[in-house]
Amino acid sequence: MKKFLFSAMVAVFLAGPSSAAGFLYECDVKDHERARGWISPKIAIIFPDAETVQIVDALTLNFVKKPVAGTILRNNAKRVIVKWNIEGVKADNGQSFAGVNYRASISKATGALEVKTIPNGYDSGLRGTGTCKKRNK
C-alpha cells in the first residue's frame, strides 16, 4: 500500500506544471533495516524549481500525509545536500517525538546516497546508504 501511495505522490509532482529546473531524485536505501524503521527504503527528493525542495517517503506519508518542505544546504557540481524534519512522529512502542531531523547527501557523479536521521533532543542517530537516480519532469 505504501509503495502505491509513494508512486502516486511522485506521479502528482511529475504531472505538475513543467519547469526547466524541475526534477527529482528517486532514491533506494539498500541498508534501511539497519535504521530500524526510521529511514524509508524509498525516498523521493523533489526539486520543483532551483530554490525549493520537497521530500516524500513512507515516513512522511505515514505521519504528515503529504510531502514535507526541506532546505537545500548545498547544491554544487559535485553534490546536493538537503535536510528536512518530520514532526509528530510516534514510535511503535508509543513514544512520541517532537520531530525527527533528516539529512541526505547525494553524489551527482555516482548517485551515491547517505541519509542520516536523529530525533530532536538526542545526541546520536542512525544512517543509511543507497543510490539515487535523477529524473527530469
| CATH number of the structural domain spanning residue 114 | 2.40.128
Q: Round to whole Å and give the CA distance between 111 and 93.
A: 35
The C-alpha cell at 111 is 548517485
DSSP codes, 53-75: EEEEEHHHHHHTSS-EEEEEEEE
pTM to 2 decimal places: 0.82
Residues 6+ apart with CB under 8 A from 106: 25, 27, 45, 79, 80, 81, 112, 113, 132
Total structural domains in the chain? 1
**pLDDT tens column, 1-41:** 455 545 555 555 555 554 456 899 999 999 776 767 789 99
What is the structure's pLDDT at 19?
Answer: 46
Q: Round to whole Å and give the CA distance between 14 and 127.
A: 28
Cβ pair 63, 89 in contact under 8 A:
yes
Q: How far is CA 14 from CA 5, 11, 91, 131, 132, in A?
A: 14, 5, 31, 20, 17
Residue type, 131: T
**pLDDT tens column, 12-22:** 555 555 445 68
pLDDT at 120 over 90: no
Question: Residue 11's domain spans which residues?
Answer: 2-136
